[in-house]
Amino acid sequence: MFGESHRGRLRRYRRLTTVVTAGPIPTTLRLVDEADMKVPETVPQSREERKYLFRQLASYFTMVLREWEAALAREHQQQLAQQKQGEDGSPTGQQQQQLTFASKAAISAMTSSRDNMRPLFRRFEQGDLEDDILRPMVEIVRAAQERRYVDANDGYLRLSIGKAAWPIGVTMVGIHERSAREKLHAGGERSHIMGDEVTRKYLQSIKRCLTFAQVRWPPEDIRQLMG
């Protein structure tokens, strides 16, 4: 283009030639097959191994989101089929209203989770996710891949709440309440992870993915089902 700098031409060329993987969250990462999605126990140190780890994480979350979308689509088709049944077998108006409300709530949870995870995928593409988040995220995903959902949830809680000891006589136990209380005693310590809105949203979306995953891929040990 006239008046375009060499650097600008390079950026435009890269945009035109970059392959974007189709999926719930389009990404420039080359996704791996399901057989290769199993993440390592620890975060690798080499740059190439870390790049592959980001591809594995993006691939796993893409698979979960796809399955989640497909499950909701099947439920929607089943509801449509029920509504077309004869008068004797059709649900009442109140039942239809309840089904519609539940369906809309489920779709809203999935779409908001998908949208909130887009910034996480951008971090995967850039390869700049902080180890303070990456390490527990690998722990969470590996546990989920092994269908150890209680362990995965424990990892999520450690990441979102932290490991600080409960103060004696504490009465506020929620994530937000504890975070607020910790700020009163933290002094010069760094801000809590959940204090960042974008991070908080994609971490909570990961928790929703775990909730769906344990239904789609149930554990053999029922003690590993999250409550």
Architecture of domain 44-83+93-164+195-226: Up-down Bundle (1.20)
Distance from CA of residue 55 to its chain's centroid?
A: 14
| pLDDT value, residue 119 | 98
For the cut 90, the answer to whether the pLDDT of residue 31 exceeds it is: yes
Pick from 213, 227, 225, 174: nearest CA to 67: 213
For the cut 70, the answer to whether the pLDDT of residue 220 exceeds it is: yes
Residue-wise pLDDT tens digits, 72-118:
999 888 877 777 764 455 555 666 666 677 788 999 999 999 999 99
- The domain segmentation of the chain, as residue ranges, is 44-83+93-164+195-226
Buried b (16+ CB within 10 A) or exposed e, 90-121: eeeeeeeeebeeeeeebbebbeebbebbbebb
For the cut 70, the answer to whether the pLDDT of residue 200 exceeds it is: yes
Residue-wise pLDDT tens digits, 161-193:
865 544 545 444 454 444 444 443 443 334 467
Rounded to two decimals, the pTM is 0.77
